[in-house]
Chains A and B, each alone.
Chain A
Amino acid sequence: DTAVSQTPKYLVTQMGNDKSIKCEQNLGHDTMYWYKQDSKKFLKIMFSYNNKELIINETVPNRFSPKSPDKAHLNLHINSLELGDSAVYFCASSLTGRTEAFFGQGTRLTVV
Chain B
Amino acid sequence: GQSLEQPSEVTAVEGAIVQINCTYQTSGFYGLSWYQQHDGGAPTFLSYNALDGLEETGRFSSFLSRSDSYGYLLLQELQMKDSASYFCAVHNNAGNMLTFGGGTRLMVKP
Q: Is B110 an interface residue (CB 8 A)?
A: no
0 or 1 for each of B98-110: is its CB under 8 Å from A? (1 = yes): 1110110100000
Q: Which A positions have Cβ atoms within 8 angstroms of B?
A: 31, 33, 35, 40-45, 48, 50, 53, 55, 57, 90, 92, 94, 96, 99-106
Q: Which B positions have Cβ atoms within 8 angstroms of A?
A: 31, 33, 37, 41-45, 48, 50, 85, 87, 91, 94-100, 102-103, 105
CA distance A40 to B101 in the complex (A): 12
Q: How far is the CB of B33 from chain A (nearest CB, A)?
A: 6
CA distance A75 to B105 in the complex (A): 30
- Lowest 9 A-B CB distances belong to which pairs? A103-B42, A43-B100, A99-B48, A55-B95, A100-B45, A31-B96, A41-B103, A103-B43, A48-B97
Q: How far is the CB of B1 from chain A (nearest CB, A)?
A: 10
> Which residue of A is nearest B46, CB measured?
A100
Residue of A43, A45, A92 ringed by the most chain B CB atoms within 10 A: A43
